[in-house]
Chain A
């Protein structure tokens, strides 16, 4: 077998390992089912009445934003898992095996795609019940879902890097939140950008979250897209490439703490 096929099979073996964990530690399942439902309902019914979103009902405005935010956090499972693997010596074992150097990371991030898919389905169902309505062709909806998964995948690699660099699983999780949480809020995810004060507005306009959320609004709701869809794919691929390289490099010299 060629080394590429080994890399693929190693990755699948490790993705399966990550997925087997879900039914066995069901507390994790809450974080990508119940938590997204909670966010949709809280935002829709607590803030919904107070935020002006010209041209859209708040639930329509909200759904693309909140799904994008949820995707960006889906990868925390990777950070948590890698950090635990390091602590328990499993990374040492994997690194002593004749397996692909990228497989541990690729396996975990691949498994995140599965859990992120579950989150998307759950949120869309809850969103539709709360009044969300697609205004788009099936093709655009499909492209939108691909974009969501790709963006989530990019952030799984960000979290992979965080998991390999932080000192404990707890630190990995909180570092992830401190970095990503503000980014999602200073964007067009929950409020129109032009309602923000000047400096924040400037930041929000170049924030990749705004690009991706606007792309989702055009794909799901038929909003004018500009270059946002291409931009969103470019950001997702770019973040993936940069953090995959950084993470694999880090993995190769990972040390037990």
Chain B
């Protein structure tokens, strides 16, 4: 069934000198949904946002946002989008209220409306008390909230959020998430870039994983986790020197050779039932001391590591270890 696409990009390409920031990126975001654009620093996330918000012309490919072509219909498009960036792009020498009113005027809202919207938004973002204070006295979290409020002044149907919570404390992050969820509930389409998987997991309906200018995976959070297969056992040993012995002892339980991440042995397992008990018994028999054993479902972190890690490893020979049955 065809859905209305609020954002549609085909084969976007952009190079800076020799560096290919985007190398044929396709994106499709149905109206009223959230796409999480996930990737490490330098993957091309910001470049994609800059192209879709008319700040940067692509070298190749095409994109439509809210039904308008980003290259040919940029002036009309700009009144339908809101952008909140990695920087809190607000004027430090204006008050919170003055900042929002200025943005409202520049969106050409009808007379009187900028002030009304400013008051409403300051209220909603819990900034009413600070409305008449200069922004340079604001905390980082307050600036980010004001920045997001500025992106919402004209009630744009499509919102671009470029790493909106980078550098925020946990409480401010959660507050900002709730605000974004509120906008989505009202029917706004959101494209969100982030390096944080929990953020994508919580906010995004669908996720595109981007690395070195390519979309390397696409799907819902659950779909991406399923691609990675089943559950795994995380084992922390009392003595790291026992690692090889532990791997040998647990071999018949493993679906794949275990990996070590931050001192924890990660072992994809064949069969969930009885796995913890069996692992404890075998390690005991082998005389290996255990600090902690836990059953884990793959997190989006695992998906991300596997996806981006595998591309790097593939160059020096595929597969880190022997695959038993699949």
- Residues of chain A touching chain B, judged by Cβ–Cβ distance below 8 Å, are 1, 6, 9-10, 13-14, 17, 20-21, 24-25, 88-90, 92-99, 103, 253, 255-256
Contact = CB atoms under 8 A, between A and B. Distances in A.
B81 interface: yes
Given A95-B55, A98-B78, A98-B107, A13 B89 contact: no
A20 B106 contact: no
B58 to A, nearest CB: 13
A186 to B, nearest CB: 37
Contacts of A1: 108
Contacts of A95: 54-55
Interface of B: 50, 53-56, 75-76, 78-79, 81, 83, 85-94, 98, 102-103, 105-108, 134, 150
Contacts of A6: 108
A89 B106 contact: no
Nearest to A16: B102
Given A88-B92, A98-B78, 20 more contacts: A17-B91, A17-B98, A20-B98, A25-B93, A88-B88, A89-B86, A92-B55, A92-B85, A93-B83, A94-B106, A96-B53, A96-B54, A96-B78, A97-B106, A98-B76, A99-B107, A99-B108, A103-B106, A255-B56, A256-B87
A255 B57 CA distance: 12
6 contacts: A13-B102, A88-B92, A93-B83, A93-B89, A95-B54, A98-B106
A86 B139 CA distance: 21
Main secondary structure, interface of A, reads helix
Contacts of A9: 105
Given A24-B93, A98-B75, A13 B106 contact: yes
Nearest to B46: A256
A93 B150 contact: yes
Given A13-B102, A96-B55, A90 B94 contact: no
Contacts of B105: 9-10, 13
Given A17-B102, A98-B108, A93 B85 contact: yes
A24 B135 CA distance: 11
B107 A97 contact: yes
A97 B103 contact: yes
B41 to A, nearest CB: 15
Contacts of A24: 93, 134
Contacts of B81: 96
Given A97-B103, A98-B107, A92 B89 contact: yes
A163 to B, nearest CB: 16
B101 to A, nearest CB: 9
Contacts of A98: 75-76, 78-79, 106-108
A233 to B, nearest CB: 33
Contacts of A255: 56
Contacts of A97: 78, 103, 106-107
Nearest to B83: A96
A10 B150 CA distance: 16
A20 B94 contact: yes
Nearest to B82: A96
A41 B98 CA distance: 40
A104 to B, nearest CB: 10
Nearest to A84: B92
Given A10-B106, A96-B54, A97-B103, A88 B87 contact: yes
A89 B93 contact: no
Contacts of B107: 97-99
The interface centre, meaning the residue of B53, B54, B89 with most chain A CB atoms within 10 A of its CB, is B89
B205 to A, nearest CB: 24
Given A9-B105, A95-B55, A97-B106, A20 B93 contact: yes
A98 B105 CA distance: 10
B313 to A, nearest CB: 33
B159 to A, nearest CB: 11
B257 to A, nearest CB: 44
Contacts of A13: 102, 105-106
A13 B111 CA distance: 13
Closest 10 CB pairs of A and B: A89-B87, A89-B89, A98-B78, A98-B79, A93-B89, A21-B93, A96-B83, A99-B106, A13-B105, A97-B106
A241 to B, nearest CB: 24
Contacts of A256: 87
Nearest to B77: A98
Contacts of B78: 96-99
A188 B118 CA distance: 52
Contacts of B53: 96
Contact of A88 (B75, B83, B89): B89
A92 B53 CA distance: 9
A52 to B, nearest CB: 47
Contacts of B56: 253, 255
Nearest to A10: B106
Nearest to A91: B89
B106 A92 contact: no
